[in-house]
Amino acid sequence: MNLSLNWLKDFVDIPKTMAPEELGRLLCLHTVEVEKVERLADKYKKVVVGKILEIKSHPNADRLSLVKVDIGKTELEIVCGASNIKVGQLVPVALAGAILPNGLEIKSAEIRGVKSNGMLCAEDELGLGQGHNGIIILVKGKVGQAFSDYLNLNDVVLEVDNKSLTHRADLWSHYGMARDISAFLNVKFKDYRPKAEILKTKNINFK
């Protein structure tokens, strides 16, 4: 079972100073076994939004291009083999040192005699789909913005071992888990009462 920290906070006042790892530790002590605490933004460390400034042919390879990309504080030259890129587009740029969700580690490297300082990313390389026919073209976005911010990945996921809660049907939801957290933290539980709208209709005569 995966727990969204943001969803839990909708129902319980978790102290802002409490680290997600500490909450996971307390859940292990009081309620269920937490196997992993994952900050979603960590999947895209050193991946930023870049703007293509220039595209030139690679001097030593017909199917490769030299792409100049603005990433905010600086400009990079990157060797790219995609055919769907154009000047002015916003694209995800993996910087040297990034480790992508597919396990690929990005390094500055010489490709056919030209140094490439990063990589423009396709869907499968970022774990966002199976596509590898071209680079992801972004809508709007800010040059230099962290890609995790672009995707609004400001959440933390706590992975719970299902075996530790099979006997606790009251914990099979974020709402139930939040109620338990409020008890052992001794903090306010936000009772959830959805508003029901009464549909008003005119009397209908079926005769």
| Residue 173 pLDDT level (bands cut at 50, 70, 90) | very high
User: What pLDDT was estimated at residue 197?
Assistant: 67
User: What pLDDT was estimated at residue 203?
Assistant: 57
Given a cut of 70, is residue 205 above it in pLDDT? no
Listed as own residue / partner, the contacts of 176-180 with beta carbons closer than 8 Å and 24 or more positions apart are 177/3, 177/8, 177/31, 177/32, 178/8, 178/10, 178/11, 178/12, 179/11, 179/12, 180/30, 180/31
Given a cut of 80, is residue 50 above it in pLDDT? yes
User: What pLDDT was estimated at residue 130?
Assistant: 83
pLDDT digits (tens, 9 = 90+) for 23-44: 999 999 999 999 999 999 999 9
User: What pLDDT was estimated at residue 206?
Assistant: 45
User: What pLDDT was estimated at residue 201?
Assistant: 56
pLDDT digits (tens, 9 = 90+) for 119-153: 999 999 999 988 788 999 999 889 999 999 999 99
User: What pLDDT was estimated at residue 94?
Assistant: 96
Cα radius of gyration (the chain) = 24
Looking at the chain, the whole-number percentage of residues with pLDDT higher than 70 is 93
Given a cut of 90, is residue 68 above it in pLDDT? yes
User: What pLDDT was estimated at residue 202?
Assistant: 55
Mean pLDDT, to the nearest integer, of 149-176?
92
Mean pLDDT, to the nearest integer, of 77-83?
93
Nearby residues of 177 by Cβ (< 8 Å), 6 or more positions away: 3, 8, 31, 32, 171
DSSP code for 150:
H
